[in-house]
Amino acid sequence: MSSPYCERAVSDALRVGKALLKFISPNDAGATGAHQSGFYLPTGAWEMFTTHPPEKGENRKHEIEIVWQDGRKTESVVTWYGKAKSEYRLTRFGKEFPFLNADAVGNLLVLIPVTLTEFRAYVLDLEEDIDEIQASLGVEVIDAWGVYEFGRSHIEDENDCIDRHFRTFAAGVEEFPTGQAFSVAARDALLNCIADFADGPSDTKLIRAVEAEYALFRLVERRLCEPDIQRLFQSVDDFLKTAASIMNRRKSRAGRSFENHMEFILGDAGVPFEVRPDIDGRPDLVIPNAQAYHDQSYPIDRLFVVGLKTTCKDRWRQVLNEGTRVQRKHLITMQRGISKAQLDEMADSGVSLVVPQTLHRDYPVGSAMDLRTIDAFIDEVKRVTAA
């Protein structure tokens, strides 16, 4: 169930018709050793938060007032650094500001422009809230940020070839396909349209496949849901039932997409595994299989218990009680950064975190966690299981 803060953030975004969503990075919180803090704002969405375009060679300041979720107001400033950095940054929050510190890494900033000088802002730290607002606004923040603007997402721009494949797929469906069908169609488009996709790094393939499937899902959703939402509803309950169905489908799809593509990547790499095996705790994957896990003579150091979670700020603890014969757990995730304290707690609990290479920059330095790429994990598993 979403929190009151999340409900207000959704309500404000829908009322205003615009919102910028971005995950807080270590650089935002000053956790990278760069001796600076302040929310980095994406150049690609500059018209939502400033009147100053991204012109190189000059620095420009734009003063704004922000009302935060706890009622506090800040006289903040959006600064365009065009002389050296070529970036926008939101700063000036006053003393004891609670929403930008090392523990905030991985939280979701929701910035809503009422006008270009008046803003509402929320920082959501609960995974349920982060899932809920993305589903409510139809914006899946696969990259570091996403924009909601009258129901249109500006996260991705697929090329003509992929778009042609997707439109052909969407035209041929009369009801929502299975998650597996979406995943296969998205990968097929990438394989057909990107010459080196099949031979690329596993880390890149996962990110690109998840992004592509989201674009395909949105295309099918518009085609199949528009007649239903444009009809005359019989009652408020009728409307709420329809809205709830759309929301639940959006929220459940992301996790299935991630699992489907990760299973494909492991299988394509020749890694033996069993999905949701019948062992204690029912982990997402066991390598090589449940039979080896139950065989007490099989070497423990050749067994891998793996969790697959799109986000892991809180959910990582679930893997601790899965496949208890194996003490060291592996968790593969697309979480865009978490705090150093959380990483240290994971490492102390025996969890190894596996994250696509491009997302490593969003994690703070100096933690006890030995962050791994997907390709590095695959290499390790193949080396150990082949021994």
Residues 112 and 138 in one domain: yes
**pLDDT of residue 151 exceeding 60:** no
Mean predicted lDDT score pLDDT of the chain: 89
Q: What is the pLDDT of residue 36?
A: 55
Residues 303-357 have pLDDT tens digits of 999 999 999 988 899 999 999 999 999 999 999 889 999 999 999 999 999 999 9
Identify whether residues 229 and 349 lie together within a single domain: no
Query: pTM of the entire structure?
Result: 0.74
Give how far Cα 333 sits from Cα of 27, 214, 308, 320, 330, Å.
20, 17, 6, 15, 10
Pair of tokens at residue 98: 């609670």
CA distance 30 to 39: 10
Co-location of 215 and 301 in the same domain: no
Q: What is the pLDDT of residue 224?
A: 86
Query: Could you tell me the sign of the dihedral formed by the alpha carbons of 279, 209, 48, 90, in that order?
Result: positive
SS3 assignment, position 23: strand
Last residue of a domain, one of 268, 290, 315: 268
Shared domain check, 148 and 9: yes
H-assigned helices in the chain: 4-16, 127-137, 160-171, 179-193, 202-230, 236-268, 290-294, 340-348, 374-385
The CA distances from residue 131 to 10, 13, 69, 138, in Å, are 12, 15, 18, 10
- Domain-ending residue, one of 133, 153, 173: 153
Domain that holds residue 246: 160-268
Are 290 and 344 part of one and the same domain? yes
Based on the fold, state whether residues 91 and 215 are members of the same structural domain.
no
Buried-state track 220-252, b at ≥16 Cβ within 10 A, e below 16: bbeebeeeeeeeeeeeeeeeeeeeeebeeebee
How many structural domains comprise the chain?
3
pLDDT at 159: 62
82, HSE (Cβ side, Cα atoms, 13 Å): 13
264 shares a domain with 279: no
SS (H, E, C) 149-175: ECCEECCCCCCHHHHHHHHHHHHCCCC
Residue bearing the bigger pLDDT, 32 or 281: 281
Apex 340 CA angle, 337 and 345, nearest 5: 105
- Predicted confidence at residue 76, as pLDDT, reads 96
pLDDT at 230 over 80: no
Considering 239, 268, 297, which residue would you say is the last residue of a domain? 268
Residue type, 292: A
Is a pLDDT exceeding 50 seen at residue 20?
yes
Q: What is the CATH number of the domain that holds 37?
A: 2.40.330.10
Q: Check residue 278 and give its pLDDT.
A: 92
Q: Tell whether 373 and 338 lie within a shared domain.
A: yes
